[in-house]
Amino acid sequence: MERGRDSARRTIDGKERQYWRGLDTGGSTITGAVYQPRHAAYDLKKLRAKGLIGKVGSSRRYQAPPDGLRTIAALVVLRDKVIKPILAGTAKPKMGRKPKTWSAIDAHYETVRKDMQTLFEDVGLVA
């Protein structure tokens, strides 16, 4: 029986192999999936369809017009500063003691957090 490269491969399952392949290519494995060229092609196709980016001539380069750049930046800020904190807050159904200084923004976040928790319960996402 030959012991070599093939026998070492049999001891590593598919997910581990995908993880190591992602490290070799510099891919992201945060979510367990590697960002591959087909993912980039899909994303570029969607961004082009929405008019957020455009192809430069017949090359493989893309350019974002000023309006598209503003929209992309707004979506990134919205995701990072609004959506992620709200979704993170829904994981904790009960808060601790209210801070001494409670601003109007804090009250709005608390209202949205409670409403999202109710929505998740109604839809059946929370046990």
Written as one letter, the residue type at 56 is: V
Residue 22 tokens read as 């992602």
Q: Do 25 and 40 have their domain in common?
A: no
Q: Do 45 and 102 have their domain in common?
A: yes
Residue 101 tokens read as 């200084």
Q: Do 51 and 25 have their domain in common?
A: no
Q: Do 106 and 95 have their domain in common?
A: yes
Domain range for 61 is 36-123
For 60, the enclosing helix (H) or strand (E) is: none
Lowest-pLDDT range, 23-32, 61-70, 114-123? 23-32
Q: Give 74-90 pLDDT, tens digit per residue.
A: 999 998 888 888 777 76
Q: What is the pTM of this model?
A: 0.54
The better pLDDT of the pair 39, 85 is held by 39
- Helix, strand or coil for residue 51? coil
The better pLDDT of the pair 13, 60 is held by 60
Number of domains in the chain: 2
For 122, the enclosing helix (H) or strand (E) is: helix 104-123
Pairing of strands 62-63, 54-55: antiparallel
Question: So what's the pLDDT on residue 51?
Answer: 92
Longest dimension (CA), the chain: 72
Q: Do 118 and 68 have their domain in common?
A: yes
Q: Do 29 and 43 have their domain in common?
A: no
Q: Do 47 and 27 have their domain in common?
A: no
